[in-house]
Chain A
Amino acid sequence: MSDRAVVVGAGLAALRGAEAMREAGFSGPLTIVGAEPYRPYDRPPLSKHVLAGEIQADATTLPSSLGADVDWRLGSPVTRLDRESRTLHRADGGTLLYDRLLIATGTRARAWPNPHEGRLSGVFTLRGRDDAAALRAALAAGPRRVLVIGAGFIGCEVASLCRQLGLPATLVEPGPTPLGRVLGSAVGAFIGAMLEGRGVDLRSGSEVEWLEGEGGRFVRAHLTDGTRIDADVAVIALGAVRNTEWLDGSGLSADPGGVDCDAAGFVLDTEGQPDPRIAAAGDVARFPHPLYGGRRVALEHWSHAVMQGTHAGQLLAGAKPASPYAALPTFWSTQGDVVVKSAGLTEGADAVAFTQGEPGSGRFIAVYGRAGRCIAAVSVDSARWLPAHAELVAAGAPFPPQGAAADRPSRGIMVLAPGFP
């Protein structure tokens, strides 16, 4: 009998998973189900080159080694999983049977809490290809001002990009600094200064109370402190929500934080037992990370989607995975002309040390420590030093890093409280 394999999701992790299955020798029927009508595409360029107008949103399709022997079912999401009959139900009423299943449904942008305001023309989120194309069109129309709500990575990228395009931009963030949740306010303060230096109107410690429309068009935002900001475009950048609702009732251990996996990559049921027919990968997969004491994490990183997708594909094909399921997490973010890169997880850090460059100049390395060990490193416009620091993190080297090195800050290594909320 020839096993049927189904991949639910059609993003980067899904594609790499399907390719790995084929490369590992799985030759049975292979179906890929996607909610959007597109073949897998690359997301990082959406908030950068596509918004800048350098490439079209449809130029982001990922290259693939998959052949014609793949059944693409695009444009309708899976709404329910029945593990007993090994059946997937789709929104368009169709069903699919599986013997091996890869869950890679990823995340979606968190919507503006007031749906009526969120539907105003001129209000955008940024997650998919269509989102990027629509927002690009709005930016190209020359708005009076762009309001970005939320100073996470996407929010900071959009705000810096608007400045590069010469558009006035206001960035509203309830926390004390941009990127505070991921990088802490000590590093976030330097990022904030850099954004302000590039002309972003940064409103830290502020919250948007409501979005005002006129004739169905967004015209201004009202902050909780009474301030009004006139703008034609609002970008809601409040983070991502994991797509796990379709797993309700499946008996799998899943919630808005992801679907749980064991250390090998198989998903767990609510009893904690792995289902050997189902693996998960990418943003949606929550797994115990060996480098972080087995803490369960779900990582929204590009390189992670590649590695974990490949691993899960090999696993489902019955091959011994050559790709790690849990490597050192890394990501990057391009904010205007500045590249921020990171290795490791900053969560739980009790101190941060500025070890290279000059923090005040917007070019530096920050190393995060926990209980005297290096757990993460972040580079701002100095990516060349990151690999060396990634090795310190992977080795759990003593924190703060000691001794002389090139490009140390002129006043020596500065150690601060990281300032996580």
Chain B
Amino acid sequence: MPDATLLDQVKDFANRADPYPIYAKLRKNPVSRQDDGTESGTWVAATHGTIASLLQDPRVSSETLPPADRPRTGNPLTDLIVKPLKDWMMDRHRVFIFRDPPDHDVLRASVMHQFSRARIQAMRTRSERLVADLLDEKRDAREIDAVDDLAYPLPVTVICELFGVPREDEPKFHGWATQLATALEPDSLSDTEIRAANSRTFDAIGGYMADLIKEKRRHPQDDMLSGLANEATPEGAKMGDYDLVATSILMLVAGHETTVNLITNGLLTLLRHPDELERLRQDPGRAPRLIEELLRYEPPVQFRTRKTLSSIDIAGVTIPEGADLVLLLASGNRDAAMFPDPDRFDPDRTGTRHLGFGGSLHYCVGAPLARFEAEAALTALARRLKAPRLIEDPPPYRSGAALRGPEHLRVAIDGIV
């Protein structure tokens, strides 16, 4: 058993509340090999410069998922004929965060075409309304859980409405989304049990989405799923059904599992910096810069994984061909070479180029939505919570190291105005 590497420590749940000192150690070598028992090892890029460079390097691939391999059922017909076919179809219709150009581009363009300015604007107004309603429900409370009461239901409702998923079906997604989000955690790629559970979940949510898509074809509504199912892009691109199912699952999972962390990390950070909370309360116009700083300081997606297609010389090392890569976005965000005094939360920084939404061709599709939702939530919390106090610091965290954020955030209050 080799000693725990720094990457193992990042993944270790015991360090979930504060992984930043480990990132600081990793940054001493801009790109470092972490022993993982394999010959090539896992390579971690921890500085802003190396991450930014690798994000836009065509020798770096996002096609990290191992070939589909559904669990055998014992039924020879299923195992010999249906399973290989399903595995084959799954491999050919991966979601676009796990695909490279040119395939990636066609799928992403279809989504961007539907992610219209008007739709996003409408969701901005809608977010403000939803936040107001959610807080009204807790008007007489003396304690709230910022996750269950606001940070989770807000983005979930927004993504469901945007896609046209009936509100009453939403509870089904809760478990599906949490399960599928594990695909972004590095260990899930090799853990056969997690992979089997992900296959089952994908089948369940996929069946649901296929039915919903049929419905959107019969009765198109003004929502993104209807648009994706019925309209082509100006260039004439239109998704086939397998890609459409996979893409809509990706959007729904992303809507469930990321913005929640941005809002919760945001409130947690503000409660730890009461002066900033007070400044936001007095001047909601500070929200945009505050949110950019949050995306730097406590990004919801701490890292993303990649693979090298060829060997790459970078920062004095050679990453071999076929190596697993971890792009430690949250560490690049704390790189003093890019951000002076990086561990200080300072919304008044100028010219920040944080990696909170990734970068280059996989830059977060939902970034504008996330910004609006966080702005609606945090400005309302600052304005309406009377004398908010953290009940637990640090709060309990969700299991993920990549998608990192509190499981619950209990806040004592004197009321909600």
- A interface with B by C-beta (< 8 Å): 356-358, 384-385, 387-388, 391, 395, 402-408
Contact among A358, A384, A403 for B309, CB-based, below 8 A: A403
- A384 (CB) vs chain B CBs: closest residue: B361
| A contact residues around B102 at 8 Å (CB) | 357-358, 407
- B60 (CB) vs chain A CBs: closest residue: A406
Q: Given A356-B58, A403-B309, A403-B321, answer yes or no on A388-B53 (Cβ-Cβ < 8 Å).
A: yes
The 9 closest A-B pairs by CB, nearest first: A403-B310, A406-B100, A404-B309, A405-B58, A407-B101, A388-B57, A405-B59, A406-B58, A387-B56
- A391 contacts B53, CB within 8 Å? yes
- B363 (CB) vs chain A CBs: closest residue: A384
- A405 (CB) vs chain B CBs: closest residue: B58
**A205, B57: Cα distance in complex, Å:** 38
**A357, B58: Cα distance in complex, Å:** 11
- B322 (CB) vs chain A CBs: closest residue: A404
- A407 (CB) vs chain B CBs: closest residue: B101
| A contact residues around B310 at 8 Å (CB) | 402-405
7 A-B pairs with C-beta separation under 8 A: A387-B56, A403-B310, A405-B58, A405-B309, A406-B60, A406-B61, A407-B58
Give the residue among A356, A357, A405 with the most B Cβ atoms within 10 A: A405
**A22, B100: Cα distance in complex, Å:** 47
| A contact residues around B221 at 8 Å (CB) | none
Contact among A357, A384, A387, A404 for B59, CB-based, below 8 A: A404
- Shortest Cβ distance from residue A43 to the other chain B in the assembled complex, whole angstroms: 25
Q: Residues of B within 8 Å of A, CB-based: how many?
A: 18
- Asked whether any CB of chain A lies closer than 8 Å to the CB of B360, the reply is yes
Given contacts A356-B58, A407-B101, 17 further A-B contacts (CB under 8 A): A384-B56, A384-B360, A384-B361, A385-B58, A387-B56, A388-B53, A388-B56, A388-B57, A388-B59, A402-B310, A404-B59, A404-B321, A405-B59, A405-B309, A406-B309, A407-B102, A408-B58
**A51, B332: Cα distance in complex, Å:** 42
| A contact residues around B313 at 8 Å (CB) | 395
- A395 (CB) vs chain B CBs: closest residue: B313
| A contact residues around B61 at 8 Å (CB) | 406
**A402, B311: Cα distance in complex, Å:** 10
| B contact residues around A402 at 8 Å (CB) | 310
Which B295-311 residues have a C-beta within 8 angstroms of A? 309-311
**A357, B361: Cα distance in complex, Å:** 14
- B58 contacts A403, CB within 8 Å? no
- Shortest Cβ distance from residue A66 to the other chain B in the assembled complex, whole angstroms: 20
| Contact digits for B36-77, partner A, Cβ 8 Å, 1 yes 0 no | 000000000000000001001111111000000000000000
- B53 contacts A403, CB within 8 Å? no
| A contact residues around B56 at 8 Å (CB) | 384-385, 387-388
| B contact residues around A404 at 8 Å (CB) | 59, 309-310, 321
**A407, B104: Cα distance in complex, Å:** 10
**A404, B62: Cα distance in complex, Å:** 13
- A388 contacts B321, CB within 8 Å? no
- Shortest Cβ distance from residue B365 to the other chain A in the assembled complex, whole angstroms: 15
Contact among A388, A403, A406 for B101, CB-based, below 8 A: A406
**A358, B361: Cα distance in complex, Å:** 18
- B interface with A by C-beta (< 8 Å): 53, 56-62, 100-102, 309-311, 313, 321, 360-361
**A356, B57: Cα distance in complex, Å:** 11
**A407, B311: Cα distance in complex, Å:** 16
**A358, B101: Cα distance in complex, Å:** 11
**A254, B257: Cα distance in complex, Å:** 64
**A387, B359: Cα distance in complex, Å:** 13
| B contact residues around A391 at 8 Å (CB) | 53
**A28, B62: Cα distance in complex, Å:** 56
**A356, B105: Cα distance in complex, Å:** 14
Give the residue among A356, A384, A405, A406 with the most B Cβ atoms within 10 A: A406
| B contact residues around A408 at 8 Å (CB) | 58
| A contact residues around B58 at 8 Å (CB) | 356, 385, 388, 405-408
- B311 contacts A403, CB within 8 Å? yes
- A357 (CB) vs chain B CBs: closest residue: B102
**A384, B60: Cα distance in complex, Å:** 13
**A391, B310: Cα distance in complex, Å:** 16
- A386 (CB) vs chain B CBs: closest residue: B56
- A391 (CB) vs chain B CBs: closest residue: B53
| A contact residues around B100 at 8 Å (CB) | 406-407
| A contact residues around B59 at 8 Å (CB) | 388, 403-406
| B contact residues around A406 at 8 Å (CB) | 58-62, 100-101, 309
| A contact residues around B101 at 8 Å (CB) | 406-407
- Shortest Cβ distance from residue A362 to the other chain B in the assembled complex, whole angstroms: 12
| B contact residues around A403 at 8 Å (CB) | 59, 309-311, 321
| B contact residues around A384 at 8 Å (CB) | 56, 360-361
- B314 (CB) vs chain A CBs: closest residue: A391
| B contact residues around A407 at 8 Å (CB) | 58, 100-102
- A408 (CB) vs chain B CBs: closest residue: B58
**A395, B56: Cα distance in complex, Å:** 17
- B99 (CB) vs chain A CBs: closest residue: A406
**A238, B251: Cα distance in complex, Å:** 51
**A403, B56: Cα distance in complex, Å:** 16
**A405, B101: Cα distance in complex, Å:** 10
| A contact residues around B309 at 8 Å (CB) | 403-406
- Shortest Cβ distance from residue B48 to the other chain A in the assembled complex, whole angstroms: 14
| B contact residues around A356 at 8 Å (CB) | 58
**A402, B312: Cα distance in complex, Å:** 11
- A403 (CB) vs chain B CBs: closest residue: B310
| B contact residues around A387 at 8 Å (CB) | 53, 56
| B contact residues around A385 at 8 Å (CB) | 56, 58
| B contact residues around A395 at 8 Å (CB) | 313
- Shortest Cβ distance from residue A72 to the other chain B in the assembled complex, whole angstroms: 29
- Shortest Cβ distance from residue B164 to the other chain A in the assembled complex, whole angstroms: 31
- B105 (CB) vs chain A CBs: closest residue: A407
**A266, B32: Cα distance in complex, Å:** 43
- Shortest Cβ distance from residue B260 to the other chain A in the assembled complex, whole angstroms: 30
| A contact residues around B60 at 8 Å (CB) | 406
Give the residue among B58, B62, B101, B313 with the most A Cβ atoms within 10 A: B58
**A406, B96: Cα distance in complex, Å:** 14
- Shortest Cβ distance from residue A81 to the other chain B in the assembled complex, whole angstroms: 39
**A387, B60: Cα distance in complex, Å:** 13
- Shortest Cβ distance from residue A390 to the other chain B in the assembled complex, whole angstroms: 10
**A385, B310: Cα distance in complex, Å:** 16
- Shortest Cβ distance from residue B309 to the other chain A in the assembled complex, whole angstroms: 4
**A388, B321: Cα distance in complex, Å:** 17
**A406, B59: Cα distance in complex, Å:** 6
**A388, B60: Cα distance in complex, Å:** 11
- B52 (CB) vs chain A CBs: closest residue: A387
**A403, B59: Cα distance in complex, Å:** 8
**A267, B123: Cα distance in complex, Å:** 59
- B59 (CB) vs chain A CBs: closest residue: A405
- B321 (CB) vs chain A CBs: closest residue: A403
- Shortest Cβ distance from residue A65 to the other chain B in the assembled complex, whole angstroms: 14
- B57 (CB) vs chain A CBs: closest residue: A388
**A408, B103: Cα distance in complex, Å:** 12
- B360 (CB) vs chain A CBs: closest residue: A384
- Shortest Cβ distance from residue B190 to the other chain A in the assembled complex, whole angstroms: 23
- Shortest Cβ distance from residue B10 to the other chain A in the assembled complex, whole angstroms: 26
**A391, B313: Cα distance in complex, Å:** 11
**A356, B313: Cα distance in complex, Å:** 19
**A388, B359: Cα distance in complex, Å:** 13
**A402, B58: Cα distance in complex, Å:** 12
**A408, B58: Cα distance in complex, Å:** 9
| A contact residues around B57 at 8 Å (CB) | 388
